[in-house]
Amino acid sequence: MFGVTILGNNSAIPSHDRHPTAQVVTIEDQILLLDCGEGTQMQFNKYKVRRSKITYIFISHLHGDHYFGLIGLITSMALLNRVDDLHIYGPKNLQQIIEIQLDAAGVILPFKLTIHAITETKMIVDEKKFTVHCFPALHKIECWGFIIKEKKNPRRIDLEKTIAAEIPKSYYEELKKGHDYITKDGTTIVNESVTIPNAVPKSYAFCADTRYDESILEHIKDVTLLYHETTYLKDQPEKAFERFHSTTEQAATIALKANAGNLIIGHFSSRYDTITSFLNEAKVIFPNTKLAKEGTTFTI
């Protein structure tokens, strides 16, 4: 399973029963949380997200609608006696903000919390089955996008053929990487004859609050599923520019230029009481667009 569930799709002021930004990515048996607006832990209850499964949290930037729910989530994890390590990645002031609130409440965490300051474009998580890279977004304050990529060996074992060729199981990992096998008598068994190509590794990119910015394209090229904010409809490019946000047309253009497989749009301004126009406008440029409806899970 590799999928993303939308917990909040509204910008700034919660309204129209839409909530501030939060998304959970499920990959293998782990949950990664992307942003954590106020009320995210209540959304966990509503959509049956198991907070104990969260291993990583990524905070794009320190505007409140992207992280004001974080301290409450951490506190609840403490009350629920979490024991597993928790790693949070975000802008450098995040650690101090969390720590002074824990201190003021006299909370002693029963688990190890590490808050990593993001300072540059790089791979920030390197797990067995996936990686997470961060890259800069163009917002009013320091802001980061994230891309989560499956790790996959290029080839899969063709079991019938490896058994017939008497290749020992201990060599399977090398085969998956594409290496040939040389038998005891010196014969080369060509990799392609005993393996089959693996499916292309999938990826999910989260482009948090950002102005239209083609410099992110290099980081999200060929992404399987792209989330890009669309705070405004296409008739508001000046407002989007001025407030460091994007329009439907701009998000769809980024998806097109990045050669994304699918696009999710969200972070709708509170000025819009309905959101169907967002979908219609984006689809004109990028047909594979979906609305970030709260509670919806998109398989990647």
Q: Which of 17, 29, 35, 65 is catalytic?
A: 65
- The answer to whether 103 is a known catalytic residue is no
In the complex, least distance from residue 62 CB atom to a copy of itself, rounded to whole angstroms: 4
In the complex, least distance from residue 22 CB atom to a copy of itself, rounded to whole angstroms: 13
What amino acid is encoded at 233 in this protein?
L
Helical segments of 178-236, H only: 191-194, 217-220
Cβ(28)–Cβ(130) below 8 Å:
yes
Please tell me whether residue 136 binds a copy of itself under the rule CB under 8 A: no
The region of 62-70, 164-172, 188-196, 218-226 touching a copy of itself under the rule CB under 8 A is 62-70
Please tell me whether residue 52 binds a copy of itself under the rule CB under 8 A: no
Looking at beta carbons only, is 100 or 163 nearer to a copy of itself?
Answer: 100
Nearest to 60 by CA among 14, 8, 118, 100: 118
Within positions 72 to 91, which residues make up the interface with a copy of itself, using CB under 8 A? 72, 75-76, 79-80, 91
Please tell me whether residue 14 binds a copy of itself under the rule CB under 8 A: yes
Query: For a copy of itself, which residue of 47, 87, 97, 161 counts as binding (CB under 8 A)?
Result: 97
51: its two tokens: 């907070």
Query: For a copy of itself, which residue of 5, 23, 41, 162 counts as binding (CB under 8 A)?
Result: 41
Any idea which residue has 């409806």 for tokens?
Answer: 293
Nearest to 64 by CA among 11, 8, 103, 5: 11
Cα–Cα dist 74/85, whole Å: 12
Within positions 207 to 226, which residues make up the interface with a copy of itself, using CB under 8 A? none
What 75-79 contacts at long range (C-beta under 8 Å, 24+ apart), as own/partner pairs, is 75/102, 75/105, 75/107, 76/41, 76/51, 77/51, 77/52, 77/109, 77/111, 78/107, 78/108, 78/109, 78/110, 78/111
Active site residues: 65
User: Which residue ranges make up the site for a copy of itself (CB under 8 A)?
Assistant: 12-15, 17, 19, 38-39, 41-42, 45, 62-65, 68-69, 71-72, 75-76, 79-80, 91, 93-94, 96-97, 100-101, 103-106, 140-141
